Amino acid sequence: MTDALSVADLMHKPAVVVHEGITLADAAKVLDANKVGAAAVLDGGEHLVGMVSERDLLRSVGHCIDPGSTGINEVMTRDPVTLRTTDTVAAALDIFRDRRFRHLPVMEGHRVAGILSTRHLVRVAHIEEVQPAGSAPPELAPRGLEGVAVAETAVGDVRGEEGFFHYRGYNAVELASRCSFEQVWHLLVEGSLPDDQELAGFTARAVAARRLPEGIADLLRQISTLPNYTPLSALRSAVSVTASALGSAPTLDISAEQVRADSLRLAALAPVLLMRLHRHHQGLAPVDPHPDLGYAAAYLQMLTGERPAPRTARALEQYLILTMDHGFNSSTFTSRVITSTGSDIGSALTGAIGALAGPLHGGAPSRALAMLDAIGSPDRAEEYLRAEIGAGQRLMGFGHRVYKTDDPRSTLLREVATEVGGDQVEFARHIEATALRVLAELKPGRRLYTNVEFYAGVVMNSVGVPRDMFTPTFACSRTVGWTAAIAEQAANNRLIRPSALYVGPAPPRPLPHGYGAALRAA
Ligand code: ACO
């Protein structure tokens, strides 16, 4: 492999450069800012005259040289050995091994095109050492698997550039605008939009599936009194024990029909478990879901003990539909990995909630609301937002990794929030407009728009969901997406078992002399 790769494939480019004559302290700042271990030193005519590395700087500190007044010319390596961009990695490896360099400049004609370090080579070297002779090393996927398709799915997809996402081909925003939770739930797990008869049958099964299995009510009370209680970790534990109580069998051993039945049972139970935990924790008696109420209305009725106004229930329902699924996100992938082992649905859902709990995924919809609180009044918005960006902070509820245009969820949730009304909505709209203007001015070209988090918090707050229940609420609706993914994986399963590139010390390593002697003697 090293024969096929050239130095240009691996080197850090463009090269980080400094000019001769600058101080050690200034050179250290450049290395630090660029997160590199060495820089090429150029003269006034932009010709290479040396290399300066972190090691040179550290050594000089050890010799009590003042970095603020000493020039790098005192410590740099003059006229360094150079590589050419066309050199093979194998040839570069030989030079690094023989001469014990750590960084070498890579030349393209008289220009320094990049810098190659031992760190760049170490991976390739180890791969060669650890690979059995004659076997091709595995390809390394991009970090975070970004842009890598690891499965086929008919559940849904996100198109970031277009600001569009869909469930089984239907625009998710249109579904949230026009359909009930149960209709979209049926679409995701059964594969089609239900007709009236199918919907009635599905709704009846979903309502029946809300009853608690034997023994769980007491356990929920106990979980709610555990130290360091948080609603999301309590829900994760409750889903796990409930699945055990239901006898959730390995997906490998059950029919597709049974997978769907187990999925429906757990997805219907998730809000029941969450609301019981919440009310116990608040010292309140739990409230059973009223069989006449749909998923969203029952959600609020179990929370407050009262039937919600239709407009309030509908606002929450729209949020819940918008968050049921969102492409091949981390928790969905987690649920599929667990299912691929043939494990049961309870395990897959428990793992998925664990993945969602991470701040990089489930997010913290309450943070956007906290920002509104911190701003306090409209007249403080501009000053606050400018100061935040000036201090290098992110404005909560803006920007998205995938959407580089309006997040379609935020567009609908803005409308929903406006319909629900309230003082906070007007204030939020003012903050949003100010933030977008300030971001466009201070972060030009970054394509930062309002994301789902901004209005999700406002909507949930308006309908009475407490802040610490925002992410658990998201977990309940996303359970529908997870179960659709689980069924898809189980129906066409292959164990998900990727490999990794070993980059540790070259094996086999001898144990240190005498290590384990005491155990042998015993
Ligand atoms: N406020 C100010 N500047 C921002 C923001 C923001 N909200 N988001 C990104 N930027 C800036 C960055 O500072 C960076 O600027 P720079 O080029 O001067 O360094 C540039 O935009 C690109 O930023 P990245 O970090 O590359 O953007 P990335 O796609 O990785 O970030 C993320 C996406 C994490 C959502 C980011 O926009 C962010 O932190 N937003 C605030 C937190 C938030 O709202 N999270 C919820 C997201 S929605 C969800 O996950 C369900």
- pLDDT band (50, 70, 90) for residue 314: very high
Give pLDDT, residue 190. 98
What is the total count of domains within the chain?
2
Residue 102 has pLDDT above 90, yes or no: no
Q: Are 57 and 27 in contact (CB under 8 A)?
A: yes
Beta strands (DSSP E) in 304-360 are none
Same domain for 490 and 447, yes or no, is: yes
Q: Are 187 and 175 in contact (CB under 8 A)?
A: yes
Nearest CA to ligand 1 atom 14: 446
For residue 284, being part of any structural domain is answered with yes
Residue 54 has pLDDT above 90, yes or no: no
Residue 262 has pLDDT above 90, yes or no: yes
The encoded tokens of residue 281 equal 């924790």
Residue 142 has pLDDT above 90, yes or no: no
**Percent share of the chain, pLDDT over 90:** 69
Same domain for 380 and 271, yes or no, is: yes
Percentage helix, strand, coil for the chain under 3-state DSSP, each rounded to 5? 55, 10, 35
397: left (phi over 0), alpha (psi -120 to 50) or beta: left
Same domain for 212 and 280, yes or no, is: yes
pLDDT digits (tens, 9 = 90+) for 407-433: 999 999 999 999 987 788 999 999 999
Give pLDDT, residue 296. 98
The encoded tokens of residue 450 equal 């309002």
Segment 445-471 shows an average pLDDT of 93
Residue 60 has pLDDT above 90, yes or no: no
Residue 304 has pLDDT above 60, yes or no: yes
CA-CA-CA-CA torsion sign (335, 337, 341, 347)? negative
Gap between the Cα atoms of 243 and 141, Å rounded:
35
- Ligand 1 cavity residues, CB under 6 Å: 363, 389, 394-401, 439, 443, 446, 448, 451-453
Q: Are 438 and 386 in contact (CB under 8 A)?
A: yes
Residue 126 has pLDDT above 70, yes or no: no
- Atom nearest to 401 CA in ligand 1: 29
For residue 265, being part of any structural domain is answered with yes
Specify which residues 41 forms β-bridges with: 18, 50
Same domain for 360 and 216, yes or no, is: yes
pLDDT digits (tens, 9 = 90+) for 145-203: 988 999 999 999 999 889 999 999 999 999 999 999 999 999 999 999 999 999 999 99
- pLDDT band (50, 70, 90) for residue 45: confident
Mean pLDDT, the chain, as a whole number?
Answer: 91
Which range of residues forms the domain containing residue 360?
A: 166-500
Give pLDDT, residue 179. 98
Which candidate in 182, 317, 432, 453 is catalytic? 453
For residue 515, being part of any structural domain is answered with no
Residue 114 has pLDDT above 60, yes or no: yes
- pLDDT band (50, 70, 90) for residue 99: confident
Same domain for 176 and 107, yes or no, is: no
Nearest CA to ligand 1 atom 5: 394
- pLDDT band (50, 70, 90) for residue 374: very high
Give pLDDT, residue 225. 98
Same domain for 184 and 101, yes or no, is: no
Q: What phi and psi values does residue 165 have, to the nearest 5 degrees?
A: -140, 155
Give pLDDT, residue 90. 80
**Domain at 291, CATH number:** 1.10.580.10
Same domain for 335 and 421, yes or no, is: yes
Global pTM exceeds 0.85: no
Give pLDDT, residue 193. 98
Give the residue among 506, 390, 427 at the shortest CA–CA distance from 131: 506
HEC readout, 229-246: CCHHHHHHHHHHHHHHHH
The encoded tokens of residue 443 equal 């972060």
**Domain at 69, CATH number:** 3.10.580.10
- For the residues of 263-314, what is the DSSP string, one character each? HHHHHHHHHHHHHHHHHHHTT----PPPTTS-HHHHHHHHHHSSPPPHHHHH
Distance 447 CA to ligand 1 centre (A): 10
Segment 474-502 shows an average pLDDT of 96
More confidently predicted of 359 and 173? 173
Segment 225-246 shows an average pLDDT of 97
Same domain for 91 and 208, yes or no, is: no
Give pLDDT, residue 127. 53
For residue 522, being part of any structural domain is answered with no
Give pLDDT, residue 515. 93
Same domain for 60 and 11, yes or no, is: yes
The number of C-alpha atoms within 13 Å of 24 and in the hemisphere containing its C-beta is: 22
Q: Are 500 and 345 in contact (CB under 8 A)?
A: no
For residue 382, being part of any structural domain is answered with yes
For this structure, is 400 an active site residue?
yes
For residue 229, being part of any structural domain is answered with yes
For residue 203, being part of any structural domain is answered with yes
More confidently predicted of 148 and 275? 275
More confidently predicted of 136 and 413? 413
Nearest CA to ligand 1 atom 49: 363
Give pLDDT, residue 133. 56
Segment 298-315 shows an average pLDDT of 98
Gap between the Cα atoms of 46 and 41, Å rounded:
9
For residue 357, being part of any structural domain is answered with yes
Distance 151 CA to ligand 1 centre (A): 28
Same domain for 219 and 314, yes or no, is: yes
- Atom nearest to 363 CA in ligand 1: 50
Give pLDDT, residue 63. 60
Residue 52 has pLDDT above 70, yes or no: yes
Give pLDDT, residue 95. 82
Which candidate in 103, 186, 400, 488 is catalytic? 400
Give pLDDT, residue 364. 62
Segment 16-44 shows an average pLDDT of 89
Same domain for 113 and 190, yes or no, is: no
Q: Are 449 and 437 in contact (CB under 8 A)?
A: no
Distance 435 CA to ligand 1 centre (A): 13
For this structure, is 278 an active site residue?
no
Give pLDDT, residue 97. 74
Same domain for 263 and 323, yes or no, is: yes
Give pLDDT, residue 75. 86
Residue 130 has pLDDT above 80, yes or no: no
